[in-house]
Structure 1
């Protein structure tokens, strides 16, 4: 299936695809954290009918139900809109002082300014992990921030 990505300056990103019934479907990922699922009117790609609007928590639940592993891949796309904002991955190794500890104990965001937006644990993706989520050896943290911030998270996690 072909998915087209459209940058919406000041708004976010829109992903478009044609479903099995021939409808043009759009998912708007807003910079503010909101999501909107729309169907386009046939013959007019600029006219759409909103189907549902989701906040970030609701979108997380839907993503988990529909196959959350894809969401981590898309975080990198969101960073294209903001110069200097990058995404990176940090592995929690067995020697890490935070393996077996809650994410919040790292204080990574307050120490580096970078945000851990997901934890990839095998085939599972924990989107917007809570501070009490316990890190495990082998977890891969999806981090959004500056190059320095991401490197700082890596230094914290590795000890």
Structure 2
């Protein structure tokens, strides 16, 4: 049985595959059909179907659960950056800053909520880059580590104030 998922900006068709798992598919603006088959075993198959024959698999890439999560995180990060860029176009004085968390920061080992950055500065921490990965939209319980790079959106004054908070408390 297929159903439409709403709120994702494209029509995603969800189909139950008895004994296997679930298949989610959608068609791109250019007419390419893409899908993800989520097996009950935790494996995922990323599938690209033929343009001339949308029922024929042209490419199928097997992903472990961990790899699928990595791909999902990468795509979410792209989405966050696109939203930030849209906000930049809408509000001229909005800036994005990448702020490193030094080993001497008073917030190393402490949660983001302790900074009260948004309340104190009006700027928002929208992502954290850690060891080459991106944590999009970290919550108040997210714990900082030395050498994290914090992505902050706000006014120039607000982002500078967040840098000061992370450096000096």
TM-score (norm 1): 0.59
Cα-Cα RMSD: 2.7
| CA apart distance, 1:113 | 0.1
Deviation at 1:62, TM superposition (A): 7.7
Q: Which residue of 2 aligns with 1:92?
A: 101
Name the count of aligned residue pairs: 108
Q: Could you tell me how far 1:80 is from its partner in structure 2?
A: 2.4
Match of 2:29 among 35, 40, 64: 40
Structure 1: where are the runs of 5+ without partners? 1-33, 43-60
CA gap of 1:69–1:92, structure 2 versus 1, over 3 A, is farther
- Cα shift at 1:40: 3.2
Q: How far apart are the structure 2 equivalents of 1:101 and 1:116?
A: 15
The higher relative CO (CA closer than 8 Å, separation ≥ 6) is in 1
Q: SS in structure 2 opposite 1:98? A: coil
Gaps in structure 2 of 5+ consecutive residues: 1-6, 12-27, 32-67
Q: State the alpha-carbon separation in 2 of the partners of residues 85 and 62 from structure 1.
A: 31
> Structure 1's 94 and 75: CA in aligned 2 closer, same or farther, altered over 3 A?
farther
CA distance in 1, matches of 2:148, 2:141: 15
Judge conservation of contact 1:69–1:124 (CA < 8 Å) in 2: no
**TM-score normalised by length of structure 2:** 0.55
Q: 1:123 to 1:114 in 2, by over 3 A?
A: same
Residue equivalent to 2:133: 124
Q: Which has the larger radius of gyration?
A: 2
Return the alpha-carbon distance in structure 2 between the equivalents of residues 136 and 118 of structure 1.
Answer: 14
